[in-house]
Amino acid sequence: MSIREIAEQLVAGCREGRELANLEKLYAPDAVSVEGADMGNGREARGLEAIRAKHDWWESEMEMLDSSIEGPMLHGEDRFAVVFNVKVREKSSGKVTEMSEVGVYHVSDGRIVREEFFY
Protein backbone atom coordinates (compact mmCIF):
# COMPACT_ATOMS: atom_id res chain seq x y z
CA MET A 1 0.00 0.00 0.00
CA SER A 2 1.10 3.55 -0.62
CA ILE A 3 1.42 6.01 2.24
CA ARG A 4 -1.74 7.77 1.00
CA GLU A 5 -3.70 4.49 1.09
CA ILE A 6 -2.42 3.68 4.58
CA ALA A 7 -3.27 7.17 5.84
CA GLU A 8 -6.73 7.19 4.27
CA GLN A 9 -7.52 3.72 5.63
CA LEU A 10 -6.37 4.72 9.12
CA VAL A 11 -8.61 7.80 9.10
CA ALA A 12 -11.60 5.89 7.69
CA GLY A 13 -11.16 3.19 10.34
CA CYS A 14 -11.02 5.77 13.13
CA ARG A 15 -14.15 7.52 11.84
CA GLU A 16 -16.00 4.20 11.59
CA GLY A 17 -14.87 2.75 14.95
CA ARG A 18 -12.51 0.18 13.42
CA GLU A 19 -9.39 1.18 15.32
CA LEU A 20 -8.56 -2.37 16.40
CA ALA A 21 -9.01 -3.70 12.86
CA ASN A 22 -6.61 -0.93 11.76
CA LEU A 23 -3.96 -2.36 14.07
CA GLU A 24 -4.02 -5.76 12.38
CA LYS A 25 -4.19 -4.39 8.85
CA LEU A 26 -1.97 -1.30 8.92
CA TYR A 27 0.61 -1.68 11.73
CA ALA A 28 3.91 -3.55 11.83
CA PRO A 29 4.04 -6.26 14.53
CA ASP A 30 6.77 -4.32 16.38
CA ALA A 31 5.17 -0.88 16.01
CA VAL A 32 5.69 1.67 18.79
CA SER A 33 3.06 4.08 20.16
CA VAL A 34 4.23 7.13 22.12
CA GLU A 35 1.91 9.35 24.17
CA GLY A 36 2.69 12.98 24.95
CA ALA A 37 2.21 12.31 28.67
CA ASP A 38 2.10 9.32 30.99
CA MET A 39 -1.55 8.51 31.73
CA GLY A 40 -0.55 5.92 34.31
CA ASN A 41 0.70 3.18 31.98
CA GLY A 42 3.94 4.78 30.77
CA ARG A 43 4.34 6.88 27.65
CA GLU A 44 5.46 4.12 25.30
CA ALA A 45 3.74 0.95 24.11
CA ARG A 46 5.87 -1.48 22.06
CA GLY A 47 4.33 -4.08 19.78
CA LEU A 48 0.76 -4.73 18.67
CA GLU A 49 -0.25 -6.45 21.89
CA ALA A 50 0.84 -3.45 23.99
CA ILE A 51 -0.85 -1.01 21.62
CA ARG A 52 -4.03 -3.12 21.70
CA ALA A 53 -3.90 -3.05 25.53
CA LYS A 54 -3.64 0.75 25.38
CA HIS A 55 -6.80 0.87 23.27
CA ASP A 56 -8.56 -1.50 25.68
CA TRP A 57 -7.58 0.73 28.63
CA TRP A 58 -8.97 3.81 26.87
CA GLU A 59 -12.26 2.04 26.08
CA SER A 60 -12.61 0.84 29.68
CA GLU A 61 -11.95 4.33 31.13
CA MET A 62 -13.63 6.72 28.68
CA GLU A 63 -17.01 7.11 26.99
CA MET A 64 -16.80 8.90 23.65
CA LEU A 65 -19.40 11.67 23.45
CA ASP A 66 -18.31 13.40 20.25
CA SER A 67 -15.37 13.35 17.87
CA SER A 68 -14.06 14.73 14.63
CA ILE A 69 -10.98 13.88 12.61
CA GLU A 70 -9.01 16.13 10.27
CA GLY A 71 -6.64 14.73 7.71
CA PRO A 72 -4.65 12.85 6.76
CA MET A 73 -1.89 15.33 6.01
CA LEU A 74 1.02 13.70 4.20
CA HIS A 75 4.66 14.57 4.85
CA GLY A 76 6.94 13.06 2.23
CA GLU A 77 6.92 9.30 1.69
CA ASP A 78 7.26 8.18 5.29
CA ARG A 79 4.98 10.25 7.56
CA PHE A 80 1.50 11.64 7.90
CA ALA A 81 -0.47 13.48 10.56
CA VAL A 82 -4.06 13.37 11.73
CA VAL A 83 -5.86 15.79 14.08
CA PHE A 84 -8.29 14.22 16.54
CA ASN A 85 -10.84 16.36 18.41
CA VAL A 86 -12.77 14.48 21.08
CA LYS A 87 -15.24 15.03 23.86
CA VAL A 88 -15.13 12.20 26.41
CA ARG A 89 -16.63 11.32 29.77
CA GLU A 90 -14.43 9.63 32.33
CA LYS A 91 -16.47 6.59 33.37
CA SER A 92 -15.33 6.55 37.00
CA SER A 93 -15.98 10.22 37.79
CA GLY A 94 -18.39 11.42 35.11
CA LYS A 95 -16.01 14.31 34.32
CA VAL A 96 -16.39 15.54 30.74
CA THR A 97 -13.28 16.69 28.89
CA GLU A 98 -12.70 18.11 25.42
CA MET A 99 -9.28 17.66 23.89
CA SER A 100 -7.40 17.90 20.62
CA GLU A 101 -4.39 15.83 19.71
CA VAL A 102 -2.18 15.44 16.70
CA GLY A 103 -1.12 11.94 15.74
CA VAL A 104 2.06 11.67 13.66
CA TYR A 105 2.43 8.28 11.98
CA HIS A 106 5.70 6.93 10.58
CA VAL A 107 5.50 4.37 7.77
CA SER A 108 8.10 1.87 6.56
CA ASP A 109 7.71 -1.05 4.16
CA GLY A 110 3.96 -0.45 3.79
CA ARG A 111 3.17 -0.51 7.54
CA ILE A 112 2.85 1.99 10.37
CA VAL A 113 5.94 1.51 12.54
CA ARG A 114 5.54 4.40 14.97
CA GLU A 115 2.80 6.74 16.12
CA GLU A 116 3.35 9.79 18.31
CA PHE A 117 0.59 11.83 19.94
CA PHE A 118 0.88 15.53 20.78
CA TYR A 119 -1.66 17.29 22.99
Can you tell me the distance from the alpha carbon of 107 to that of 103, in angstroms, rounded to the nearest whole number? 13
Q: Count other C-beta atoms under 10 Å from residue 105's C-beta.
A: 25
Per residue of the chain (119 residues), give pLDDT as tens.
Answer: 999 999 999 999 999 999 989 999 999 999 999 999 987 778 999 999 999 999 999 999 999 999 999 999 999 999 999 999 999 999 999 999 999 999 999 999 999 999 999 99
Q: Is 26 within 8 Å of 111 (Cβ atoms)? A: yes
What pLDDT is stored for residue 38 in this prediction? 87
Q: Which residues contact 116 (CB under 8 A, 6 or more apart)?
A: 34, 36, 103, 104, 106
Alpha helices in the chain (DSSP H): 3-15, 19-26, 48-61
Q: What domains are defined for the chain? A: 3-118 (3.10.450.50)
pTM: 0.93
